[in-house]
Structure 1
Amino acid sequence: MTQPPRQRLAGYAAARLGAWAAGFDAATDAPAGVREAARRALVDVVGCALAGSRHPTTLAVADHARAHLGGGRCSMAGGAPAGPLAAAMVNATAAHVLDFDDTCFEGVAHISAVVWPAVQAAAETAAATGGDLLSAFIAGAEAEAALGRSLGRGLYDRGWWNTALLGAVGAAAGAARALRLDAGRTTAAIALALAFAGGQRSVLGTTAKPAGCGLAARAGLEAALLARSGIEAPVDALEEPRGFAALANGGHHDPAGFDGLGARFALIDPGFAFKAYPACSAAQAVIEATLMLRIAHGLRPDAVAAVRCEVTPLVVASLTFDRPETPTEAQFSLPYAVARALVDGRFDTASLAPDALADATVRRLMPAIGMTASEALAQSPADLVDHPEAAIVTIDTHDGCHLRQAVPAATGMPANPMPDETLDAKFRANAAPAIGRSPAEALLGRLRGIDGLAQAAGLLTEGEAA
């Protein structure tokens, strides 16, 4: 492929992202609020990775990675060290396997679960500091969000799973920053990731989804490592007539999406959504509304005649399993989420155990739970930003009551932020079973003070239980 004329290189997306990411330093280039938002994202994603570290899917990916990707000294959540590509792949799988990790609606992607594992492995490979890791994480997250802005919502609507498709690019940008690559090599890393990125929404509800998150983190890190070794890629990989935008998005891309780099940060505008429940983000408001009704009215499952859920079109597009047969399908099932919440008065990791899916009361309730799309819940551009997964739940009881609860934005959504104490409690609940209560508390302290860590390699391993 013929490269574009040299004088035009700086205008291409890969070059713009590469020049910005390579020069980014969180200590001087990010406002305090952005740095704090990044620390919160790291608290959440590391806790999710520890919670998912013993999941059968994670263990299967770990066995594969150790067998085929070589050994090394990079940290793996809840496990023995491994090579950088293996560590990135396994940590990303673990971070996403419970679907408990954050979501960014700028691109509709789980950004942290792909970017952090790649950045962590790269930072350890480069003997980087905690401050370097924070800078690299922000650089990767913001590069991915800017790409999402440029491509627009149509990408997701076409059937692409943006967590992998865009995530590999964010991971490449972040890993390149952690490896301290210059602008030219960072551009090459981003271009490589653009040239080979992929991911379909057909994986939702299967173990390919968390494994695909791992593949995206590995691909982004590998692109950065290849770029460091001198491998080149077309700098116009986004814009070329046979490139990313043409093939994945009908040719649409808006260069203005990159204009705010370094001035507008997606970490705070619109912000990342943190989940209170281990299920698709589209189920969060529905679960919260159901639990609110159950508590307020002392509802028992046998009192429920029917449940009607009015939701946004994005929720309908995401929750596609009416009668889930596996835990991964249950994470994308509105009837299961509502029934489980009604029966237990909670929705947590135990709600996804195989025996929980077989619960006779839950199975009896699910056919009585319906979902309809309401355009009124997402009428304006502001609604799409602030309330993209709003829900109204109405429960009809056998004695003739009609109980209604609206939740425009679930707890943890940017419009309804999760308080620090709630986020820390979520971290403790996720991390302590994997590494012990005291080590989890120490790790939380390191995450909250990551800027001061002398070595990023000490983040996961210092003080962990044997």
Structure 2
Amino acid sequence: MSTASEIDRSDSISGAIADFAVAPVSGEAFELARIRLLDAIGVALAARNTPQAQSAIAGATSFMGEGLCGSLDGVVGRSPYGAAFINSTLIHALDFDDTYPAGAIHTHPTVIPAALAISDMKGASLPDLLEATAVGAEVACWLGKAIGRDLQDRGFHTSAVLGSLAAVVAAARLLKLDREKIVDAIGLVGTVGAGTWQFEESWVKNWNVAVAAQSAIGAAIAASTGFKGPLQPIEGQYGLLATHLDAGRLADTSTLGDPWLSADISMKRYGCCHFLQSVVSCTLEAASSFRASDIEAVTVKLPSELAMRCVALPIEARKAPENSYRARFAGHWLVARGLVDGDVNLRTFDEVSLDGPLVDILDRINFQISDFASYPANWPAEMEVTTKDGTRRTFHNDGRASTFAKSNLHAVEDKFRQNICYSGINVTTAEQIFDVLERPDATLADLWVALKTDTPPSSKVEE
């Protein structure tokens, strides 16, 4: 076993991350963090009445104690762990949160809940919160690009395993830890990062990211009191690379923050798995060209075996999702729904029963793997539609036009307003949140005041 004296902290991945954790945040990175927080709040408010959100709220309220922290259901006075459980679940429940495609990782549901809880505990300013989430998201993207896809191929949930390492960086920055304690915090959370791809028909994706955020909070607090952590939780003999990947390779730490990768984080246009974003765009284009009743066959091409596992297999579950949550990963059902309705929005998933037109077309929809040169930097899709009279047409989406990234961030504000409308919250709340996020002197307390509502939303999602 290596001791602290045998390891030069400057040569470790944790040391490089610790140096980056306290580095300045550019104006562009700060503004991108602001728009990502806006997006996360919007999708969380839209998810408040989902069964998994209500379960998390009940569990946190009953068993996770009281404290100083606020949660995105409009309640203040929760414990850090309770708030993180709720906030992670709300942000991720609709699968409408962010994705960094090159690393196959969500950053919102781990980094933001951890940062919110620590900010409440420390009375941090909103600008401090945004800087912390900017740094944490960048670490998530860097780790995701370096090793995320290999983790997924082995069956690990990248957003949870690497998300905890990113979230602890945001938490450590808000706690103003010195370099040595940041390394300790990374080491502590690195030994307990968990989350596998054994999702089945469950809510475990939400659970995984919540536990990652909670672990990050605990590790940062422990490190702040002097609790020591291992120095090489990633590249050590029994670190992440060895235990999860059978690899001892060291990431090139000189690339961290040069350039910032998080500028390429995408925020979804549709409330479903990121692999379905391009598929939905193709579907809606096809629906504008053909009536569903005239279609003989549909072939959807996805970029990888992972994409097939996420949205096309097992086939029967993707044709007949058992609930609204599973419908967000049901490629066959969603293509049929889009072709029949000519639209896909959050209300698409409120009712997942199979009616006549859907049943009629479902068996004529097939998915297959194809090569796409732009994957994995982007997640494209292609759809070939053949009509009953023999007409054949191909629709293609490169994965960029179907999400909101650096080039079209203005569209996130429209998405936010639509989420507010769907949530049942008064539209004035949206403007209050906009105002808070734009004010340089705003505090997190101001945000909780803006989010507080007296009337809960009506039920929209059936269990």
Give TM-score scaled by structure 2 length.
0.91
Aligned counterpart for 2:164 among listed residues 160, 165, 168 = 168
State the match for 2:213 in structure 1: 217
5 Å-filtered alignment, 1:125-164, equals 125-151=121-147, 153-164=149-160
* Secondary structure, aligned partner of 1:274: strand
Partner in structure 1 of residue 12 of structure 2: 12
How far apart in 1 are the matches of 2:330 and 2:451? 39
Q: Distance in 2 between matches of 1:330 and 1:321?
A: 13
Q: Which runs of 5+ in 2 are unaligned?
A: 455-463
Q: Determine if contact 1:74/1:457 at 8 Å carries over to the other structure.
A: no
Deviation at 1:114, TM superposition (A): 1.2
The aligned counterpart of 2:38 is 43
Give yes or no for contact 2:327–2:352 (8 Å, CA) kept in 1.
Answer: no
Task: Say whether residues 1:425 and 2:418 are aligned partners.
Answer: no
Q: 1:104 to 1:188 in 2, by over 3 A?
A: same
The residue type paired with residue 8 of structure 1 is D
Provide Cα deviations, 1:411-450, integer angstroms capped at 9, x if missing partner.
3547x75624421111011124353200112102323x26
The gaps in structure 1 that reach 5 residues or longer are none
Aligned to 1:311: 302
1:64 aligns with 59
Q: Distance in 2 between matches of 1:434 and 1:123?
A: 28
Q: 1:275 to 1:213 in 2, by over 3 A?
A: same
Could you tell me how far apart the structure 2 residues matched to 1:218 and 1:7 are?
28
In the TM superposition, what whole-angstrom CA distance separates every residue of 1:73-116 from its partner, at most 9, and x where no partner exists? 31111232211111111111000000000101243111112111
Q: Does 1:300 align with 2:288?
A: no
Q: What do residues 386-405 of structure 1 show as CA deviations (whole Å, max 9, x unaligned)?
A: 43x21111111222221221
Q: Aligned-pair RMSD on alpha carbons?
A: 2.0
Aligned length: 446
Deviating beyond 4 angstroms after TM superposition, the runs of 4 or more aligned structure 1 residues are none
Q: CA deviation at 1:34?
A: 2.0
Per the alignment, in what secondary structure is the counterpart of residue 147 of structure 1?
A: helix
Does 2:348 align with 1:351?
Answer: yes
Q: Are 1:198 and 2:194 matched, yes or no?
A: yes
Q: Distance in 1 between matches of 2:120 and 2:94?
A: 26
SS state of the match for residue 213, structure 1? helix
Structure 2 contact 68–79 (Cα < 8 Å) conserved: yes
Structure 1 residue 463: deviation in Å? 6.4
| Residues 1:443 and 2:430 are matched in the alignment | no
Q: Which amino acid aligns with 2:450?
A: E
Q: Distance in 1 between matches of 2:430 and 2:139?
A: 30
Which residue of 363, 380, 385 maps to 1:390?
380
CA contact (8 A) 1:286 1:407 kept: yes
Contact kept, 8 Å, 2:177 with 2:224, in 1: the verdict is yes
Return closer, same or farther for 1:281/1:60 CA change in 2, 3 Å cut-off: same
| Percent of matched pairs sharing the same residue | 27
* 2:300/2:367 contact within 8 Å kept: yes
The answer as to whether partners of 1:136 and 1:177 remain within 8 angstroms in 2 is yes
More divergent stretch after superposition (34-43 vs 45-54): 34-43
The letter of the residue matching 1:24 is A
8 A Cα contact 2:299 2:383, kept in partner: yes
Q: Deviations over 1:45-75 (max 9, x none)?
A: 1111111122110110121122222112311
Distance 1:423 1:235, change over 3 A: same
| Contact kept? 1:284, 1:410, Cα under 8 Å | no
Asked whether the equivalents of residues 321 and 330 of structure 1 are also in contact (C-alpha less than 8 Å), the reply is no
| 1:395 counterpart SS class | strand
* Aligned counterparts of 2:102 and 2:185: Cα–Cα separation in 1: 22
> What residue number does 1:24 align with?
23
Change over 3 Å in CA distance of 1:352–1:418 after alignment to 2: farther
Could you tell me which residue of structure 1 aligns to residue 257 of structure 2?
Answer: 262
Q: Per-residue displacement from partner, 1:253-308 (whole Å, max 9, x unpaired)?
A: 4330x21233311122xx0111111110000101101101211x2x3222222111
What do the CA deviations read for 1:310-355 (whole angstroms, capped 9, x no partner)?
22114224213423223232211211110111111111222222x3
**How much has 1:6 moved relative to structure 2?**
5.5
Greater shift in the superposed pair: 96-105 or 142-151: 142-151
Task: Tell me, in whole angstroms, the C-alpha distance in 1 between the residues paired with 2:219 and 2:39.
Answer: 26
User: Helix, strand or coil for the counterpart of 1:146?
Assistant: helix
Question: Does 1:118 pair with 2:109?
Answer: no
Moved more, 2-11 or 393-402: 2-11
- What is the SS of the residue equivalent to 1:203? coil
Query: Is the CA contact 2:322–2:352 (under 8 Å) kept in the aligned structure 1?
Result: no
Distance 2:123 2:56 in 1: 26
**1:205–1:330 contact (8 Å) kept in structure 2:** no
SS at match of 1:457: helix
Aligned equivalents of 2:273, 2:4: Cα separation in 1? 42
Q: Read off the aligned partner of 1:69 and give its amino acid letter.
A: M
CA distance in 2, matches of 1:267, 1:218: 23
Matches within 5 A, 1:98-113: 98-113=94-109
Bigger Cα displacement from structure 2, 146-155 vs 55-64: 146-155
In 2, Cα distance between the equivalents of 1:160 and 1:307? 32
